Amino acid sequence: MDFLFIADPLESFKVSKDSTLAMMRVAQEAGHRLWFCQSRNLLWKDNLATADCQSLVIRPSGTSWFELGDIQSRSLSSFSAVLMRTDPPFDIEYLNSTWLLSAAVRQGAKVFNHPAAIRDHSEKLSITEFPDLIPATLVTRELSAVEAFHRQHQDIVIKPLDGMGGMGVFRVGADGLNLASIVETLGENGARTLMVQRFLPEIAQGDKRVLLIGGEVVPFALARIPQGSEIRGNLAAGGKGVAMPLSASEKAVAEYLAPILNQRGLFLVGLDLIGAYVTEINVTSPTCFVEITEQSGFDVAQFWLTALEKALVSI
């Protein structure tokens, strides 16, 4: 099969732990042919959704890890699978890419995750569909609403809707210190919508990344544990990643959501759980394949490939 990976520049990959690279490696080892392009290389040309792409070979360790062929223009429908792995932020150009990919789907392309499903699922706001599974949550642009929420819950976390990697996450305790300043700065004086949640002390045991693949649940999570005085467990913010089996409550939540999200075209999902609460549903380019595999022995990339091959046969 021919797999096209739409991703960030290969030179930017963190080779030791990149999930997209893990996918590429296992697909190549299984005999599939790899192709690569960036989202900027997607085109609508001659009434076809196309990509100016290059063949890709993953080299053995100890050398430059990839080799690219000459640029070719191919219709997206000519690939066995198109894998959208561009990292957030979900800005207007990311949105434009999903529209081009939707045009490709109409022409028969098999895109994972489905572009319409990505557009319909804000990684933070999508949790509001499952109110029984989330902590007390407020979404607003109004300082007065945040102040009222703080009076009710005392200890809260404030974050922008378009943040990633823990960027822009603030905790405000019972004293309310700097609450107005934080909201005004993060919300750009009411121009940006914020999400506010009750602080969950369970964060001390980690912000768990649970992977859902093809409607099935990976049995190990990566607990991203805050270090020192940090409240953020995100690896990008210095959190320590520890793989561990899912608890019974985490498994129940994941097994409930997995088939629902998969049916909508969200083949690969990264649930973020604190305790048994869902805090985000990541659908753009979920990670943590390598960390879970290395620490638990469960081969996440192989699990992903097996599920992908099964999905392609059934389409």
Tell me which residues are annotated as active site.
Answer: 124, 159, 209, 224, 232, 272, 280, 282
- Residue 211: name the closest of 137, 98, 296, 129 by CA: 296
Cα–Cα distance, 226 to 203 (Å, whole number): 8
Cα–Cα distance, 280 to 125 (Å, whole number): 8
Cα–Cα distance, 145 to 159 (Å, whole number): 15
Cα–Cα distance, 311 to 305 (Å, whole number): 10
Helices of type H across the chain: 19-29, 92-106, 115-120, 143-153, 179-186, 248-263, 289-296, 300-314
Cα–Cα distance, 271 to 66 (Å, whole number): 30
Triad 201, 205, 207: Cα angle to 5°: 85
Beta-bridge mates of residue 52: 73
- What b/e sequence results for 115-146 when a residue is b if at least 16 CB atoms lie within 10 Å of its CB, and e otherwise? bbbbbebbbbebbeeeeebbbebbbbeebeeb
Residues near 194 by Cβ (< 8 Å), separated by ≥ 6? 139, 140, 141, 146, 158, 159, 160, 161, 183, 186, 187
Q: Maximum CA pair distance of the chain?
A: 62
Whether omega before 245 lies within 30 degrees of 0, making that bond cis, reads: no
